[in-house]
Amino acid sequence: MLSKVRAAALHGIEAIPVEVEVNVSRGLNRVTMVGLPDTAVRESQERVLTALANSGFRPPTGKVTINLAPADLRKEGPSFDLPLALGLLGATRQLDEPVPADLVPAGELALNGALRPIKGALPIALRARADNHRGLLLPLENAPEAAVVQGLDIFPATTLRQSVEFLKGQSLLPPLRVDTAALFNNEGDTDLDMADVKGQDSVKRALEIAAAGAHNLLLIGPPGSGKSMLAQRLPTILPPLTLEEALETTRVHSVTGQLTPGQALVTRRPFRAPHHTASDAGLMGGNVHPTPGEISLAHHGVLFLDELPEFRRAVLETMRQPLEEGRVTISRAAGAMTFPAQCMLIAAMNPTPDGKMPADSRSSPREIQNYLGRISGPLLDRIDLHVEAPPVQFRDMSTASNGEPSATIRARVIAARRRQQARLSSTRANARMTSRELKRHCALASADQSMLHDSMETLQLSARAHDRILKVARTIADLEAADTITSAHLAEAIQYRTLDRQLWG
């Protein structure tokens, strides 16, 4: 007898519809699985057969043929366990009715028949909605994640037997409902706050500008100057995630297994801080079957690279295109995959190999130049603001007063972002302006044009640095609610590029 069950295969961060066909006929007891299953899927037949027996069902006898269509798409992971089990039950007539074609089951089976959570429940739910399916049958831990997709019924189950009883109408599984607004309201407090940082007012100003326009930023200062402390607090002044941004971010975290059991959405902007020993595959994504890397896990959030020169140069060079385009494309023999990578890059480094300021360093000028030269000019061009973080003075450390809290700074950042969204008619920030938008919204007076020309000549800036200056100036103007860029806005933006000449000239 032939049985068909809907399923889904993950391809990058997308889900592709799959049809599981199970046929049981007379012959020697043998299970044959075709349709490009990977090792985990091939091994599932042992899990499924054992789970069926331990759940009180009759394992199939005879020749069992399982086809995973389409046949030219590779199927990975244990999420096919539940569809395979239901298909076998249908083919052996232990299910009175076939599994509805508008219901997509997914889940891993334990040997005792319990359902275990899987990766990629959210992409599967999004695909099911796009295909006009009624709902999903999922493990209990994955149900909240899928339930954030409106227009679907998500049925949470804990065991294979419970799933079968639900399909037979012998028990009820009420569809799970998730209040997405409540998820954002219960975002939770954090112990991090800009008020904790003593001194460093100029760096805080640069961080506010970076947050307001989604600009990349480089912090240069000796150890103990607060670079990491400031970077960790940047998410506290960024605007809250929108529902669309949260869904995009959650989808990446879902396929990589980064969500905690029962977590429905990523409601905080992610902050990723990979170690400087990270490989290009770890940072950008890749491997034989590409998965998202750190830059994609930081989508709509912050990617913090501490000790920037300690990263291998080849790894840093791979970041140039993703930083420009906001996405990562990984090509392999089997095809190409594209992952989102629209994040803010915040990097930190020492000014010299021994960590001291150049005037106090024992390193020779050649050693300093070699150290700084580990960062290429093209990568530096893609970092909008270069900021010195000087050593913290004792008077700043000993003061009893706290600095400006994150909530106050965040309010100004949100107001600036709203001006940008109204001007650009989208959710993009100034850092993502196109060339046409740059010409339209960043026009300068003739005197300011001369100032920018002289600065480019003096600092030997590139054309890309020219555009970055204009975008930063536009953000500074937005923070002050100014309709046009003034000389003061432009001058402040230019001074954030002076490190180009000082360090790499």
Q: Residue 400: phi, psi to the nearest 5?
A: -85, -20
Q: Which amino acid is at 232?
A: Q
Residue-level pLDDT at 334: 63
Q: Which amino acid is at 376?
A: S
Q: Which residues of the chain have pLDDT under 70?
A: 186-189, 333-334, 394-401, 498-505
* Complete DSSP assignment for 106-150: --EE-TTSBEE--S-HHHHHHHHHHTT--EEEEEGGGHHHHHTST
pLDDT tens digits, one per residue of 11-38: 989 999 999 999 999 988 899 999 999 9
Alpha carbons 106 and 84: distance in angstroms, whole number:
9
Q: How many CB atoms lie within 10 A of CB 325?
A: 12
Query: What pTM, to 2 d.p., does this model score?
Result: 0.91
Provide CB contacts within 8 A for 35, sequence distance 6+: 66, 67, 68, 69, 70, 71, 73, 75
Are 308 and 375 in contact by the 8 Å Cβ rule? The answer is: yes
Q: Which residues of 124-150 are buried (b: 16+ CB within 10 A; e: fewer)?
A: bbbbbbeeebbbbbbbbbbbbbbbbbe
Alpha carbons 82 and 79: distance in angstroms, whole number:
7
H or E segment and range at residue 85 = helix 81-91
Are 5 and 105 in contact by the 8 Å Cβ rule? The answer is: yes
Alpha carbons 121 and 141: distance in angstroms, whole number:
10
Q: Cα dihedral sign for 426, 430, 432, 438?
A: positive
The beta strands (E) that lie in 365-429 are given as 385-388
Are 136 and 124 in contact by the 8 Å Cβ rule? The answer is: yes
Cis peptide before 70 (omega within 30 of 0): yes
Locate 242 and state its tokens.
């929108």
Q: Which residues pair with 479 in a beta bridge?
A: none
Q: Is 328 helix (H, G, I), strand (E, B) or coil?
A: strand
Q: Of 264, 95, 102, nearest to 163 (Cα)?
A: 95
Q: Of 263, 202, 204, nearest to 236 (Cα)?
A: 204
Residue-level pLDDT at 361: 87
Exposed/middle/buried for residue 257 (C-beta within 10 Å: 0-12, 13-18, 19+): exposed
Alpha carbons 247 and 366: distance in angstroms, whole number:
49
Q: How many CB atoms lie within 10 A of CB 153?
A: 17
Strands 285-286 and 153-157 turn out to be: unpaired
Locate 346 and state its tokens.
């915040």
Q: Is 246 helix (H, G, I), strand (E, B) or coil?
A: helix
H or E segment and range at residue 336 = strand 335-340
Residue-level pLDDT at 504: 46
Residue-level pLDDT at 444: 94
DSSP 481: T
Sheet with 2-11: list strands edge to edge. 2-11, 14-25, 63-69, 30-34
Residues in the chain, total: 505
